[in-house]
Amino acid sequence: MAEVAQTHDGSLGAAHAFVDAAAAAGADAIKFQTHLAAAESTPREPWRVPFSRQDASRYDYWRRMEFTPEQWRGLAEHAREQGLLFLSSPFSLEAVALLDELGMRAWKFASGEITNIPLIDAVVATGRPVILSSGMSTWTELDRAVGLVQGAGCDLTVLQCTTAYPCPPEQTGLNVLGELRERYGCRVGLSDHSATIYPGLAAVTLGAQMLEVHLTLSRHMFGPDVPASLTVEQLTDLVDGVRFIETALANPVDKEAVAAASGDLRAMFGRSIVATRPLAARTVLAAGDLAPKKPAGGIPAERLVELVGRRLRRDLRADEPLCDDDLEPVP
């Protein structure tokens, strides 16, 4: 899932460009955030990071990020045309109503909304799948939110998330994936803010069934999420890596069968026991008389120790491989 958040910076054209970029990179879904300033905020809301030179307040910033219902509909249709699942996180009851009209197939909760019980109630009333991000929640808070979702019979995915932009490796919390799966018995995933592909690849190897990563069209774009985002090229690499890992995990290897099927390679890279120097018939072999050398085909290298002390039945040239008929029977 490619998370655009506010990196479109209020530009509808940029938002549509993100749709095309996410599709080109091979993502399955694209996610926005639907902010309606008057419904979710007050002019007193503080900046998380004071970054804007054009918005006097955080409230003004949210207002500038708003799209009309028709503009949201256009983004949803564009995403579907590109084969992407369209998602947008609601931050108010009004946003839920707006997005519900667009036929949202699932609901993604930002970690800061886990304690917003009225919002959870409104979403689970639709009966659609719910994705909870756990970044800022305690276990008690997450337990309550999960209970509401599962109690309503909604399909649930819980994402491990660390709310740090960008997130350093020691705070990624890959260990939490197993804890979430065991605690809630649901699908789990990772919402990653590291600006690298490494946590996502590791998470999939550990059984994560969903990845969410922030996306930027360029490291030079404006906005607080850019330092924690993947570029389009990185997202492409992540998708390719995930597909590779999925294929590998879906095809367990039988070591014995693989070895049996590699007979030609085993012959090429294996070794036979050969004479290190010319040896006359009746010579009692010493360790220095023998060496394992390529290719295979004669007595295999692992039998070298058992040949020491055996007597030759014929002359051998230097580097000539031994076979069992070259040795006198053991008394």
Asked whether residue 103 falls in the same domain as residue 162, the answer is yes
CB 182 within 8 A of CB 160: no
pLDDT at 320: 96
* Total domains in the fold of the chain: 2
What per-residue confidence (pLDDT) applies to 278?
97
Q: Residue 222 is part of a domain; what is its CATH number?
A: 3.20.20.70
Asked if 144 and 282 sit in the same domain, the reply is no
269 and 183, same domain (yes or no): no
Same domain, 239 and 293: no
Is residue 28 over pLDDT 90?
yes
- Does 240 lie in the same domain as 262? no
Q: Does the pLDDT of residue 135 top 80, yes or no?
A: yes
- pLDDT score recorded for residue 129: 98
Note whether 156 and 193 are same-domain residues: yes
Which residue, 250, 283, 302, sits at the end of a domain?
Answer: 250
Contact predicate 15/4, CB 8 Å? yes
> Does residue 46 belong to any structural domain of this protein?
yes
Q: What is the mean pLDDT of the chain?
A: 94
Could you tell me if 17 and 141 lie in one domain? Answer: yes
List the CATH number of the domain containing 278: 3.90.1210.10
Characterize the bridge pairing of strands 272-275 and 130-133. Answer: unpaired
Residues 132 and 280 in one domain: no
Task: Indicate if 265 and 122 belong to the same structural domain.
Answer: no
How does pLDDT run across 50-71, given as a tens digit for each residue?
777 888 888 998 899 999 999 9
Query: 143 lies in which domain range?
Result: 2-250
pLDDT tens across 228-261, in order?
999 999 999 999 999 999 999 999 998 888 877 7
Please give the single-letter amino acid code of residue 65. Answer: M
- Residue 274 and residue 221 share a domain: no
Residues 274, 217 within the same domain? no
Confidence class for position 264, pLDDT limits 50, 70, 90: confident
Q: Taking 80 as the threshold, does the pLDDT of residue 263 lie above it?
A: no
152: pLDDT strictly greater than 80 = yes
Each residue's pLDDT tens digit, 272-284: 999 999 999 999 9
Count Cβ atoms below 10 Å from residue 289 Cβ, excluding itself.
Answer: 19
Domain stops at, among 233, 250, 267:
250
Is 243 in the same domain as 285?
A: no
331 assigned to some structural domain: no
The last residue of a domain, from among 250, 268, 293: 250
Asked whether residue 129 is domain-assigned, the answer is yes
CA distances from 96 to 1, 103, 124 (A): 20, 11, 11
Confidence bin at 165 (pLDDT 50/70/90) = confident
